[in-house]
Amino acid sequence: MTAVTHAPMAPPEPGLTPDEIVARAEAMVPALVERQAETERRTYYAPDTHEAFARAGFYRILVPRRFGGYEFGVETFMRVSMTLARGCPSTGWMYSFGAAHTLAVATLFGERAQSELFACGDFVCPATVAPGGSARPDGEGGWLLDGTWSYCSGAPYATHFMGHVVVDGQPMLFVAPRDQWRRLDDWGGQLGLKGSGSHSIAMEGGRVPGHLTLPTHLSQAVVTGGTPGRDLHGNPEYGGGPLSVMLLGSAAVVLGMAQGALDAYEELMRTRTTIFPPFTTRAEDPDYQFWYGEAAGMLAAAEAAMTNAVQQWSRTCAAGPAAFTRERDVRLATVSREVARLAWRAVEGCLFPTAGSSAVRDGQRMERIWRDMSTTHSHAGFAIYLAALANRELSRARFGLD
C-alpha cells in the first residue's frame, strides 16, 4: 500500500504560546463558577462555552502541528484542565476527558488514520476502558459494531468516540466517527458531576474501518518499541505511556476541584464571622487560619507532585522508547492516586466540615464540589485500578514476575 502523506497545516493562531492559552482558561473561571448550576441542569456545559473553548484553541492543545494543532504538550493540557475544573468541576471533567484522548490517537495510530481523524483540527473524543458491544467483519477489512458504551464523558460535543470491543477473546481498540453512533440522554441522575456530559454512546451497525482499530487495550499499549506518532511527528511525547498520562489527567481535574474548594473557603474567610466571641472575621481567627493553612499545604504538595510527575513523564519520553517500560508507566500512574488522595483529604478533612452548614446547602459551591469529588471515588481508574491493581502490577514488574 502506498504511504499516505499529508501536507502540514498551520494552526489558527501560529504565534499562540502555552502561557497564553492557560491565561485564557484562567480568564474563564469566574463565568464557569457562575454557571455551575446551569451546567448541572443541562448535564453538559453550554454551547457558547463550547464555542469559546474552540476559539481559545483548547481542543487543539494536543493535536499535532502538521494537522493544524498547537502540539503544546501534556503539561499545558494538564494546566488548562486543572484551571477549568477549578471553576466548574463538571466542565473541567467533561473537557479533559473529551480532549485528552487526542494524545492516544497521535501516539498509537498511523498517518492514514491521523490524517482522517484530525482533518478538522478540533478533536473531541471521549473514551471508555470497559469493553462492550460486539463486532463483526464488514467484508472490506473493517468492522460493524453494535452495543452501548457508558460513561462517555465529553459525548455532547464529540467528533469521535474511542472504545473497546472483544474480538476472538482479545480487546480491540477502535475510534468511531461521529456519524456512526448516537448519544443517549441518560446522564444527570448521579450524586455529582451531573454536568460532565458523561452520557452513553450507542451503535447499531456502526462502521469502523480497519485502519481506525488496533489489537490492544488502551491501558496496556506497549510503547518500548517505538510508536507511529513518535516517528511521524518527531515529538517524543507522542511515544509515552498512555496509562500514566490518562490517570495523571484525571488527577489534575480532581486537584482543580479541590483548588476551587479552597477558593470558596477563602471567600468565606473574608466575608463570614466567627459564631463565638470574640467576634472577628474568620480570616482573623486562629482556628480558621489553621484549617485554611492545613488545606492549602496539602494542595500545594499535591500540585508539586503533579507537576513533577508530568515532568518525569516528559523526560521519560525524551529518553527514548525503551525507557517507557511498564514499570515506569505504572509507577507514574500511582502518583496520580496520591495527588487525588491529598486533594480529597484537604476538602473532606479541613474545608468541608469547617465551612459551616449554610455553605454546604444544596447548590452552594462547596456542597457541589464535595459531591463532585465524592463521585470521582467511583471512577474505575481510582476505585479499581489505582486502589489495588496498580500496586500489585508495579511490584510484579519491578521483580520481573510479569
Predicted local distance difference test score (pLDDT) of residue 7: 65
Name the helix (H) or strand (E) containing 270: helix 242-271
pLDDT at 1 > cutoff 50: no
* Residues 204-230, mean pLDDT to the nearest whole number: 97
Can you tell me whether residue 88 is helix, strand or coil?
Answer: coil
Q: Sign of dihedral through CA atoms 168, 171, 177, 180?
A: positive
What is the Cα–Cα distance from 242 to 329, expressed in whole angstroms? Answer: 8
What is the Cα–Cα distance from 227 to 270, expressed in whole angstroms? Answer: 52
Q: What is the pLDDT of residues 108-126, one digit of tens each?
A: 999 999 999 999 999 999 9
34 burial (CB, 10 Å; 0-12 / 13-18 / 19+) is: exposed
Mean pLDDT of the chain: 96
* Residues 282-294, mean pLDDT to the nearest whole number: 98
Predicted local distance difference test score (pLDDT) of residue 6: 58
Query: Residue 358 contacts by C-beta under 8 Å, 6 or more apart in sequence?
Result: 364
Predicted local distance difference test score (pLDDT) of residue 2: 40
One-letter amino acid of 354: T
pLDDT at 310 > cutoff 60: yes
Predicted local distance difference test score (pLDDT) of residue 37: 97
Residue 172 backbone phi and psi in degrees, to 5: -125, 125
CA-closest candidate to residue 115, choices 228, 223, 17: 228
Predicted local distance difference test score (pLDDT) of residue 8: 78
Instruction: Assess whether the previous peptide bond of 278 is cis (omega < 30° from 0).
Output: yes
CA-closest candidate to residue 33, choices 71, 86, 96: 86
What is the Cα–Cα distance from 155 to 385, expressed in whole angstroms? Answer: 24
Predicted local distance difference test score (pLDDT) of residue 383: 85
* Residues 332-344, mean pLDDT to the nearest whole number: 97
Predicted local distance difference test score (pLDDT) of residue 9: 86
What's the gap between Cα 381 and its chain centre? 11
Percent of the chain with pLDDT over 90: 96
Q: What is the pLDDT of residues 67-105, one digit of tens each?
A: 999 999 999 999 999 999 999 999 999 999 999 999 999
Three cell numbers at 366?
462547596
Asked if 67 and 6 count as a contact pair (C-beta separation under 8 A), the reply is yes
Q: What is the 3-state secondary structure (H, E, C) of 290-339?
A: HHHHHHHHHHHHHHHHHHHHHHHHHHHHHCCHHHCCHHHHHHHHHHHHHH
CA-closest candidate to residue 122, choices 35, 19, 52, 208: 52
What is the Cα–Cα distance from 320 to 213, expressed in whole angstroms? Answer: 25
One-letter amino acid of 288: Y
Q: What is the pLDDT of residues 133-178, one digit of tens each?
A: 999 999 999 999 999 999 999 999 999 999 999 999 999 999 999 9
Q: What is the pLDDT of residues 193-213, one digit of tens each?
A: 999 999 999 999 999 999 999
Query: Residue 143 contacts by C-beta under 8 Å, 6 or more apart in sequence?
Result: 135, 136, 137, 165, 167, 172, 174, 207, 208, 210, 213
177 burial (CB, 10 Å; 0-12 / 13-18 / 19+) is: middle
Asked if 390 and 383 count as a contact pair (C-beta separation under 8 A), the reply is no
Three cell numbers at 10?
498551520
Confidence label for 402 from pLDDT (cuts 50, 70 and 90): confident
pLDDT at 3 > cutoff 90: no
